[in-house]
Amino acid sequence: MEPLQQNARATARGDRRRVFVTGLGAVTPIGNTRDDFWRALVAGESGIAPITAFDASDFTTRFAGEVKDFGVEQIIGKKEARRMDRFAQFAFVAARQAIEDAKFPVDDAEVCRRVGAVIGTGIGGILTFWHQAERAREQQSWAKASPFFIPMLMANAAPAHVSMTYGFKGPFFSTASACASANDAIATAYNLVAHGDCIAMITGGTEAVVSPLAIGGFCSMRAMSTRNDDPARASRPFDRERDGFVLGEGSGVLLLEEAEHARSRGAHVYAELLGYGQSADAYDIVAPDPEGDGIYLALQRACESAGISPNEVDYINAHGTSTPMGDPPESKAIERYFGEHAYRIGVSSTKSMTGHALGAAGGIEGVATALAVSNDVMPPTINYEYPDPECTLDYVPNVARQACVRIALSNGFGFGGHNCVIVFGKVR
C-alpha cells in the first residue's frame, strides 16, 4: 500500500481499534459448514430445487433454496431444538461453528463478559407463527398456544440463545432492516469492537421463511421467479432473462475480534473488517430507486469509512437478487461511483447459487466475502448466459476466478430502501 493511502486509512479510522474476522460459520442451501459452503460456491453448485417443506403445487413458484440434511437435534439436542424456531436453530449452529472455528476462549469468564451478539433477521419466527395459527384453527381456539410461542417467535431469540449458552454478557440484540438486516448487524458489531465496548462479537444473519404464508405473500407480489421447469437455473442475477428472485434460507455468522486480542492468542485471521457505509433510498417501500442513488451513497460512505480509494477495490459480492428492477440500479451505482475502475472489479452474486435468504443474505455473503479475501478467489455468478445492456460489469460469469482480492465489498439492500455495504480487506 502507498504511504498516502496508509495515511488516509489511519485518518479515516481515527482512534478506532482494528477488527479481525477470526471465525466463520455457515448453514446454507449448498452446505451446512463453512468448508462445504465454500467448496460448493467455488464449484458453482446450485442449491435451488423444488420445495419439500410443504406441498407447493398450488403456487406460481414451487421451488426455493432450502437447507438440506440439517440434523439439528443431533447437534444441539432434541429438547433445546424444540424450543427454537428454525431461524434461531440456523443461527445457533452457525454461531457455534464460528466460535469453534476461531478457537475462542469461551472458558474465560472475564473475556466472555465483553463478548456480545448481534444477529439480523428480516422476519424472525414466521414458521412458529404459521404452525401455531394452524394449530389454533384446527382446535378452533387461541387459548392453547404453546408456552414457547412468544420466545420462539421473537427476532432476538437467535442472539439470546448464543448468549445464554456461552455466558456472553456483552450487548446482544437483533437488527431488522429487511434484506439489509445482516449487513446492518455486522456494521453494528464492528462499531462495538472498534470503539472498545467489546473484545469480540458474534454477528451475521439468519432466516427461515420457506412456508405457505411467506411463499404466498411473495407470489402475490409477483416478485419471485416462476421458472418451475428448471429451478437450478432460475436465479440468474444480471442476466437478461432473469424473471425474479428465488427464496432461500439459512444463516451466516462471523466472529469479529479486536485485533490485539486476536494476535495475543495466536488466532487465525480470515480478513480485516475495515468499515461500512449505510444509506436510505427514500424512494419506495418495495422498489429500489432506479437511479441507484442510495446505493451510490452507501458505496461512497463505505470506502470513506474504511479509508480506501475506490481504485483499491478488487471484488464486490453484489446484492444481485435476479430481479428485473433490482439488478440495474446496483450496476448503475457501481459504474457511477467507481468510474472506469468499475470494469476492472469482479462483481458476482452468490445468490445465483443460494437464492435470496432475506435477512440472512448479508451474513451468508459476508462469510463468502471474507473467504474470497482469504483465499484470493472470486466466486462466480452462475446461470449468466445473456448479457443485459443495462448491466455491463464483469460478473465473474459461471466459473470461479483465482485473483488477488485485497479489498472486497459485500452489498446488502432491503425493502424500505435500506442500504449497507461492508468492507473487508487483507490483514497488513
Cα gap 92→69, rounded to integer Å: 16
Residues classed as catalytic: 179, 319, 356
Q: Is the dihedral of CA 197, 407, 28, 230 positive or negative?
A: positive
Apex 381 CA angle, 378 and 384, nearest 5: 145
DSSP-assigned letter for residue 398:
S
Neighbours of 73 (CB within 10 A): 13
Question: Taking the CA of residue 223 as centre, how many other CA atoms within 13 Å lie in the half-sphere pointing to its CB?
Answer: 17
- Strand-strand pairing, 115-120 and 200-207: parallel
- Structural contact between residues 379 and 399, judged by C-beta atoms closer than 8 angstroms: no
User: How far from the centroid of its chain's Cα atoms is residue 100's Cα?
Assistant: 20
Nearest in space to 126 (alpha carbons), one of 218, 42, 57? 218
Q: What angle do CA 229, 233, 239 make, to 5 degrees?
A: 125
Q: Bridge-partner residues for 414, per DSSP?
A: 418
Residue whose cell numbers read 428485473: 324
Give the ranges where 144-228 is alpha helix by DSSP (H). Answer: 149-153, 157-166, 181-194, 212-221
